[in-house]
Chain A
Amino acid sequence: AQSVTQLDSHVSVSEGTPVLLRCNYSSSYSPSLFWYVQHPNKGLQLLLKYTSAATLVKGINGFEAEFKKSETSFHLTKPSAHMSDAAEYFCVVRGPPTTSGTYKYIFGTGTRLKVLA
């Protein structure tokens, strides 16, 4: 079965320092993986996605993630944190097709990123 584990529920970084949000996945076949961001009182927004093309995926706002099959990981990184990056981040894996041929998406429990001035 597909699942994702976000290894940290809270991460604090100083402005201008690198960001690392960790995600491990479990999948019985080649997965499709996503990172979403949710700013306070806002809906979720897609940051980036991996769908079996290049293993290093670039997203919006300077974020990127690397798919590592050997480590079953899809960690999210950013070289330099900005105050506006403070938000909750969700790692997501696409599930297998359902009986209707639709796909469900399995969300991690989220990592809240705090950026210190």
Chain B
Amino acid sequence: DVKVTQSSRYLVKRTGEKVFLECVQDMDHENMFWYRQDPGLGLRLIYFSYDVKMKEKGDIPEGYSVSREKKERFSLILESASTNQTSMYLCASGSLNEQYFGPGTRLTVT
């Protein structure tokens, strides 16, 4: 079974803090993705990575950065957290026509 794990299920941070969300996959997938999920908006792509140290911006990259130093690990970084970044963050890995999702991290920024 493919497994995608995320470091935290729930996280509470203060405005201005630097926040790291970690994602690890065990299927040797080239591609990894970070989405945020908000009610009524579905999932929106923040960043994705197609290889170690390679990344591309998604549809809403502002305020975020990513790091992929190893194939199995993809990190999302909020450089200076703001209240409008309160959301559910979902990581996925996969190949063509297949994506596997982690359980999500619910981030609250106060």
A103/B96 in contact, CB under 8 A: yes
B residues 29-49 touching A (CB-CB < 8 Å): 31, 33, 35, 40-45, 48
A44/B101 in contact, CB under 8 A: yes
Counting chain A CB atoms within 10 Å of each CB, which of B4, B54, B101 scores highest?
B101
- Chain B residue with minimal CB distance to A112? B39
Q: Which residues of A contact B96 (CB under 8 A)?
A: 103
B97 interface residue per 8 A CB criterion: yes
Q: Mark B73-110, 1 if CB is under 8 A from A, else 0.
A: 00000000000000000101000111111111000000
Tell me the count of chain A residues lying within 8 A, CB to CB, of chain B: 26
A105/B50 in contact, CB under 8 A: no
A104/B48 in contact, CB under 8 A: yes
Q: Which residues of B contact A45 (CB under 8 A)?
A: 101
Least Cβ–Cβ distance between B6 and chain A, in angstroms: 9
| Interchain CA distance A9-B54 in the complex, whole Å | 36
Known: A43-B90, A43-B101. A108 touches B54 (CB 8 A): no
Q: Mark A83-117, 1 if CB is under 8 A from B, else 0.
A: 00000001000100011111111011110000000
B28 interface residue per 8 A CB criterion: no
A32 interface residue per 8 A CB criterion: yes
Q: Which residues of A contact B44 (CB under 8 A)?
A: 107
Q: Which residues of B contact A103 (CB under 8 A)?
A: 96
Least Cβ–Cβ distance between B98 and chain A, in angstroms: 7
| Interchain CA distance A68-B42 in the complex, whole Å | 23
Which of A32, A41, A46, A110 has a CB less than 8 Å from the CB of B42? A110
Which of A36, A41, A104, A108 has a CB less than 8 Å from the CB of B58? A104
B31/A43 in contact, CB under 8 A: no
Which of A99, A101, A107 has a CB less than 8 Å from the CB of B43? A107
B56 interface residue per 8 A CB criterion: yes
Q: Which residues of B contact A32 (CB under 8 A)?
A: 97
Interface, chain B (partner A; CB < 8 A): 4, 31, 33, 35, 40-45, 48, 50, 54, 56, 58, 90, 92, 96-104
Interface, chain A (partner B; CB < 8 A): 9, 32, 34, 36, 41-46, 49, 51, 90, 94, 98-105, 107-110
